[in-house]
Amino acid sequence: MTFVLGPSILFCPADRPERYAKAIAAADTVIIDLEDAVTPDAKPAARDALRAAELDPTRVMVRVDPASSPEFALDVAALAHTEITTVMLAKAESVADVDAVPSHLNVVALCETAAGVVNAAAIAAHPRVIGLMWGAEDLIASLGGTGSRHADGTYRDVVRAARSTVLLGAGASGKAAIDAVYMAIADHAGLAAECEDAVASGFSATACIHPSQVAVIRAAYLPSDDQIAHATALLGAAEGAHGAFQFEGAMIDEVMLRHARRVLERANG
């Protein structure tokens, strides 16, 4: 049973079971959230809702509380009554945190603190980790800061560095990298620009917090007709070529062919 990851990954509060089906219908992957989306007093009811739901384990993961939290064991106990095979581990900071997750579960490690970002490569190398995600606001909070973005909406330097570190950590182990949520729900242009950068940089997916953001993410991860045509023509020109060659005035080598193959892979889902 293969777990499907992205490109559009939608968070859904675990204490809102009436939204589960709508979320699954809207996005490629759904994260049922037992952590930040649920207030402490609502967590028991959220776990009950999770236990009662029939969820597709190939498209749904559950975000559990940090391994250091007393809520973690309760979250894991609730999962034992489901068919869920993949969890997102909130505030993952070490390999030991991943080891705390029951051995039958795959893990998407959420590196959203200074310690988690610094240890991203080691966490990604864990055999049960299938991907990394990062989070801007929790990261800034862990550093004692007050905001992840400048007034013009761009990330602060430390946040950009953390984003790159998590992407590189995931890539070093051949694991998926998930870009952080875009909090300005109505700003579809800003989300599209951020997703376009994520695609070009090598992220596998982008998480979101509202169904209206799903279409924007999907459009950004789907290559344009021009990109598909260019990649197809480039790979066609490479047939029979020996070593580097020129194409449309540019020198082409194997790494450029890898870029073109990736475009067609995204186009074909």
- Binding-site annotation, residues for substrate: 63, 112
Residues of the binding site for Mg(2+): 112, 138
Residues of the binding site: 63, 112, 138
Q: Which two tokens stand for residue 61?
A: 């993961």
Rounded to whole angstroms, what are the CA distances from 219 to 14, 195, 223, 225?
27, 9, 8, 12
